[in-house]
Amino acid sequence: MTRTEYSVFALTPNKNGVYHYHDEAWIEAGGPAARLYGGDWGLLAVSPSNGDIFRYLNEPGRWEHIGGPGASFAVTGESVYGLTPDRGAVWRYDGQGTSWDKVGGPAAQIYGGTWGLVATNPENGDVFRYLNEPGRWEHIGGPGASFAVTGESVYGLTPDRGAVWRYDGQGTSWDKVGGPAAQIYGGTWGLVATNPENGTLWAYNYHSPDDNPDPPTWRQIGGPGADFSVSYESVFGLTPDRGAVYRYDGTETWTKIGGPADSIAAALWWTATAPAPDFDLVNDARQHPEKYPPHGNSAGAATAGCAGGFIPSAQLTDIARSHNAYLKDQPKDWVNADQNMHRGPDGKLVWDPGEPMEQAGYRAWRAENVAVGFPTADAAVRFWMQDDEAFGWGHRNAILRCETLEAGLGHLEGGPWGHYWTLDMGTK
C-alpha cells in the first residue's frame, strides 16, 4: 500500500534537526542542515559542513548524498536543479548516485515548481524557461525582483516590487494580476503574496479552478509571517518571530501545528511497501529507455530517460485494476474498436471530466496505457515501449514524460483476451 502526502518539513532554530509533520505529530527526519528545499520531487537538504546536497528517502535518518555544493537549488516535479557556486552553470540531477548533467548557465538565480524551471540572466535579469533539453532555453520575459513557479505558470514581481505579473505562455507576454507585494511564493496549490505595508498574506489562482472566480481575484488569507511555503494542498506559515508553524485550513483560519523553527519547506512525501516486480519493469523502462529501442519508424518516439521512477500510487493501482475488470467482461472485438480500450463503464474516456482518475484528484495531467493478450509484464512493457509505432509512440512517450509523478499498474488474467494490463499515470 502506498501513502502519498504533501507535507511540511521544518529546520530547528539551531539548524541541528530536520523535522517532518506527519499524522499530527513531528518526527525527526535528520539533520543538521544549512537549508531545506522542497517540491513535488521531494525534500533536499544542504550540509552545513561542506554544502553538499542530500535527498530525503522518506524514512527517519535515511538520506542519500546526491551532489556537491551550489549557490542555489530548485525542485521541480521531475528532479532537482543546481546552480554552481560561481553561478556559472545550471545542472540537473540525473537520478544516479551523484551524477548531474549540465543543462545551461550562467544564471543569477533559479526557480522551480511543477510547471518547470526558470532562470534569470546575470547580465540583464531577463527570465528564461528551460525546455527540458540540455542547452535549450526560451526567453520569456524581463527582469524581476523575484519569481514564483506554481502548477500552471510562473509569476514575477517587478524590480520595484510594484506589481505582480503572470506569464501567459506566449513569447514574452505577461498579464498584470496584482501588486504591489513584498514577496511572492508559489506551489501547486497556487500563488501567495505578502502586502508590503502590513505583511498580510493574499492568495491568487489558488487550489483549483472551482475555488476561484473567473477571472481569478486576490483574497486575504492570513497575517504576516517570517516565511511561507506552498504545497499541493495548502500553505504553511512561520510566525514573524519564528516561534510557531501554522497550516492554512482553507476557510480563512489557520491551525498551529508546531514551532519554533528556523525555516520551513513543503515537499511531497510517500511511503510504500516494495513495489511489485511488474511495477519495477515500468520504472526500468522509464529510467533506461535505451534498453527498449523503438521498432520500425521511430520518428516522434521519446528517447531520454527520467531521473526517477514513478511514485507507486495505491489510488491509480486500484483504478487500473478496476479498469481491467471492466474490460475483461467486454467482447474481444469491442475492446479493440475505436478508443474503447480507454473507456469506462460510464462511457467516459481517460481524458474526460469526471472519469475515475480525475475524480481521484489527478487533474494536472493523466494518461493511460492498456495492453491485452500479453502473458507477462515484460511483454506488455516492451509492447508499449518498442512496438508503439502504430499509435504514434503515445504509450512510450507517456511513460517517458518525466513531469508525471505517480502511476499504478494493474493485471488481470481471464476474459476473452486472456490477460489485461493497465498502467494509469497522473499528476495531481
257-291 pLDDT, tens digit each: 998 999 999 997 765 444 456 899 999 999 999 99
What is the pLDDT confidence band of residue 358, given thresholds at 50, 70 and 90?
confident
Collect all residues with Cβ–Cβ distance below 8 Å to 197 and sequence separation of at least 6. none
Please say if the pLDDT value at position 355 is more than 90.
Answer: no
Residue 3 confidence (pLDDT): 45
Give percent of the chain with pLDDT exceeding 90: 70
Q: Which of 378, 412, 416, 347 is nearest to 280 (CA)?
A: 378
What is the pLDDT confidence band of residue 59, given thresholds at 50, 70 and 90?
confident
Residue 275 confidence (pLDDT): 47
What is the pLDDT confidence band of residue 213, given thresholds at 50, 70 and 90?
low
Give percent of the chain with pLDDT exceeding 70: 95
- Judge contact between 267 and 9, C-beta under 8 A: yes
160-189 pLDDT, tens digit each: 999 999 999 999 999 999 989 999 999 988
25-52 pLDDT, tens digit each: 999 999 999 999 999 788 999 999 999 9
108-155 pLDDT, tens digit each: 999 999 888 999 999 999 999 999 889 999 999 999 999 999 988 999
Residue 107 confidence (pLDDT): 98
92 beta partners: 81, 101
Calculate the average pLDDT of the chain.
91
Arithmetic mean of pLDDT, 60-84: 94
State CA 237 to chain mean position distance: 21
Q: Which of 209 and 340 is assigned the larger pLDDT? A: 340
Q: Measure the CA–CA gap between 239 and 226, rounded to whole angstroms.
A: 6
- Judge contact between 231 and 7, C-beta under 8 A: yes
Of 110-119, 166-175, 322-331, 387-396, which gets the smallest average pLDDT? Answer: 322-331
Arithmetic mean of pLDDT, 206-229: 80
